[in-house]
Amino acid sequence: MEIDKTTLTDLTIFNSADAMSVFNKINRCRTVGGKDKLYENFNSPLKSIEAINGIQQTLQLILQNLQHWPAQISNGSVLMIEKFYNATIDDIPVSPSYISAYSYKIFHRPDFSLVEYSVGHAFDFIKGMQLMIARFFTNAAPAPLHNILQLASKIITKVQFSIIEQNKKAADLTPVQMLHLGRFLRYHYKNNMLDLLEIYFQLDAWYGMALAIKEYDLHFPEFIPDAKPLLQAEGLYHLLLQQPVGYNIKLNPECNFLFLTGANMAGKSTFIRSVGAAVFLAHIGMAVPAQKMQLSLFDGILSNINVVDNLVKGESYFYNEVQRIKSTVLKISDGRKWLILIDELFKGTNVEDAMKCSSTVIEGLIKISDSLFILSTHLYEIGASLKNYPNISFNYFETAVENDKLLFSYQLKEGISNDRLGYLILKNEGVVDMLHKL
């Protein structure tokens, strides 16, 4: 699935501070390498239902076996293994004996200590991988998990590691056994170990995703193998909300354009981001924040939410809005399935001009039946002329006013809202009184 940096930012998938983002919320990996691999997974949405189902099944299997996930492997173990290969130490004896081991310990004490400590962490790591292979490497394992563990099994099947299988912990090894293992690891297993670490990082990424699914009570979506675009969800919400209100949404070839209205702060932008983020998560094989969700495989997501001006290039806000729409039209004219999310189109010009531009854009986009569209606007007046199109639905977020106080239900309703509450918000925030006192 194609998704650009602008859309990833609009949907809060990532952010520069690495906080308050969907990625940060999902990341429950044990290791830095696992987090890096998860980041790669987020940047590589899957392109087939078969691949997505494989990841879903892998995560489901891990969820069912969380209690069996090897606890021996930690970020500290991984860091120590990497340090072991980068450190400069005196040669470990070729064929360690009691005498040579004792001599190495006495005359090369710092190096002996580093080897002993490193071998302890490598022991834990390999033991954990052995246990993982024994538990999950079966013919019934989902393809992604089976394939990666098959590779791990080939790498880890070494006669030198039988001593790890026979002992529970590294402390059970004699100095001679420890140096034998250390020498093999350092001089004959470096490339294999680095490959094994990469395999574990992917396993850790999946483990982190599984933990997030359990922690946030997420549900796996169902992909429908349909040539036409489809998106249907119940109880959909944005993962970053503390107290979310679930939405229901239904878009299909017969009704592929949602025209969304409502007052400021009513929830339009949050709704659009919720839909986009959930569809994105579904395409990396992740469970989603919804009670139920069905969708087709999309070729891409494009958003037009946080357009900004460019002072350096001398480009206005409105110009960049136009350029974003132009880019969108060029992309979605190729017959592929896209999810298009547009929030408050043409905010950078006057109302009359914005109405004319918005109507023109909407009437053009409605002709494209291979994609789904959600567009929010304050310009409810243009809705009347759009009712002649059978494939557009009209929804709004209701706002109530009691004693000059705004009450937001965040419930999506059918129809068009003509609420204009900007002045009331200005008044409630005390700005009007402040201005009167100037």
Whether residue 206 sits in one domain with residue 238: no
Residues 211 and 226 occupy one common structural domain: no
Give the Cα separation of 304 and 291 in Å (integer). Answer: 27
pLDDT level of residue 18 (50, 70, 90 thresholds): low
Do both 198 and 249 map to the same domain? no
Q: Is residue 102 part of a domain?
A: yes
Give the residue-averaged pLDDT of 287-295.
97
Whether 258 shows a pLDDT value over 70: the answer reads yes
Return the H-helix or E-strand segment holding 398.
strand 392-402
Mean pLDDT computed over every residue of the chain = 90
| 163 and 246 together in one domain | no
Residue whose tokens read 């024994």: 134
* Domain interval for residue 280: 222-436
Q: Is residue 6 part of a domain?
A: no
Domains contained in the chain, number: 2
Q: Is the pLDDT of residue 114 over 50?
A: yes
Of 197, 237, 215, 291, the C-alpha closest to 63 is 215
d(CA 80, CA 412): 53
95 and 191 fall within a common domain: yes
Asked if residue 379 and residue 423 are part of one domain, the reply reads yes
Q: Between residues 298 and 407, which one has the greater pLDDT?
A: 298
Whether residues 212 and 235 fall in one domain: no
Alpha-carbon gap, residue 220 to 292, rounded angstroms: 8
Q: Assess if residue 97 is contained within a domain.
A: yes
Q: What is the CATH number of the domain that holds 228?
A: 3.40.50.300
Q: Are residues 262 and 343 in the same domain?
A: yes
On whether residue 232 sits in a domain, the answer given is yes
* Closest-CA residue to 59 (of 17, 28, 33, 81): 28
Q: Which of 153, 184, 216 is the last residue of a domain?
A: 216
Are 182 and 233 members of one domain?
no
Looking at the fold, whether 199 and 247 belong to one and the same domain comes out as no
Residue 407: exposed, middle, or buried by beta-carbon count in 10 A (0-12, 13-18, 19+)? Answer: exposed
pLDDT in tens, 334-358: 889 999 999 988 877 778 888 898 8
Q: Name the β-bridge partners of 310.
A: 315
User: Is residue 24 included in any domain, yes or no?
Assistant: no
Span 23-45, pLDDT tens digits: 999 999 999 999 999 999 999 99
Q: Are residues 90 and 193 in the same domain?
A: yes
Higher pLDDT, 314 or 143: 143
Residues 136 and 253 in one domain: no
Q: What angle do CA 12, 17, 22 make, to 5 degrees?
A: 30
Residues forming a β-bridge with 260: 376, 395
3-class SS of residue 219: strand
For 55-108, the pLDDT digits (tens) are 999 999 999 999 999 999 999 999 999 999 999 999 999 999 999 999 999 999
Taking only the tens place, the pLDDT of each residue in 192-243 is: 999 999 999 999 999 999 999 999 999 999 999 988 999 999 999 999 998 8
- DSSP, collapsed to helix, strand or coil, labels residue 365 as helix
Write down which residue in 216, 239, 265 finishes a domain.
216
Whether 7 is in a domain gets the answer no
| Residues sharing a CB contact under 8 Å with residue 386, sequence separation 6 or more, in sequence order | 259, 359, 362, 363, 366, 392, 394
Instruction: Look at residue 283 and tell me if it is in a domain.
Output: yes
Answer with the one of 196, 216, 236 that is the final residue of a domain.
216
Is the pLDDT reported for residue 308 higher than 90? Answer: no
421 pLDDT exceeds 60? no
